[in-house]
Structure 1
Amino acid sequence: MIKLPLLTMSQAWWLLGLAIVAECAGTTSMRLSDGFSRLTPSVLIFVFYAVAFALNTMIIRTLGLSITYAVWSGAGTVITAAIGFLYFKEPVTAVKMVSIGLIVAGVVGLHLSAKPLS
């Protein structure tokens, strides 16, 4: 097995951003696959999620599981909801917007509390 060196905090946060983008692309591909009836988006689901999980596996060594997964899933949820609203024309309600605001507040709080693991 190859053991990669520990990432710096800056590298970990940048890679987490890429993992979030990959996760959002994978989730969007789910919608575009039309229940696995379209080949390209169906394949892309697995490609994007493989990238996201591989990056998260590297990031967890620096940021820890609690920060990595919470920020990844929270930010991914907010971005994916925005894609649903803007691209797929899903309905926007006040309850949805308040809920998304709470997720954003939680992600910001986790980001501010992150310290490198030793």
Structure 2
Amino acid sequence: MHWFLLILAIAFETVGTTALKVSDGFTRLVPSAITLTCFVTSLVLLSLVLRTVPVGVAYAIWSGLGIVLIAAIGWTAFDQRLDAPAIIGMALIVAGIVVMQVFSRTTG
């Protein structure tokens, strides 16, 4: 169950960050409200995950996958291009998460 909650936390954080971009510095009401709602929901879900998953592992997965997803959304929705070093760096983030899940005993 905690992995499902972590996936939900990542999804809410991703939607919240996307809405933050659209909020134009919190000058647009609806995207600003979506941002705040999603961030609070994401943190509540993350706090529930921290009951069973070590904080370092949960935060690494939450922030790492959030970075990759936001970069993909920025690329597709906002035409923000990524260069080769950025793509390689994100591939390393994903590889690190896979290594933690497959080989570490601390992932819960």
Which range, TM-score by smaller chain?
A: over 0.9
TM-score, normalised with respect to structure 2: 0.93
Map 1:24-39 → 2, pairs under 5 A: 24-39=14-29
2:53 corresponds, among 63, 83, 88, to: 63
- 1:101 is displaced (CA, Å) by 0.5
Please give the per-residue CA displacement for 1:29-64, whole angstroms capped at 9, x wherever unaligned. 110001111100011111001111001111011111
- Secondary structure of the residue aligned to 1:63 is coil
Aligned to 2:11: 21
- 1:115 is displaced (CA, Å) by 4.0
Contact 1:23 1:76 in 2 (8 A): yes
Is 1:88 matched with 2:96? no
Q: In the aligned structure 2, how far is the partner of 1:105 from the partner of 1:72? A: 14
Contact 2:100 2:107 in 1 (8 A): no
Give aligned pairs, total.
106
- 1:92 is displaced (CA, Å) by 2.1
2:67 corresponds, among 77, 82, 85, to: 77
- Secondary structure of the residue aligned to 1:61 is coil
Q: Match for 1:49: what amino acid?
A: F
Contact 1:71 1:110 in 2 (8 A): no
Q: In the aligned structure 2, how far is the partner of 1:111 from the partner of 1:40? A: 37
- 1:108 is displaced (CA, Å) by 1.2
Contact 2:64 2:93 in 1 (8 A): yes
| Gaps in structure 1 of 5+ consecutive residues | 1-10
TM-score, normalised with respect to structure 1: 0.85
Q: Match for 1:47: what amino acid?
A: T
Bigger Rg over Cα: 1
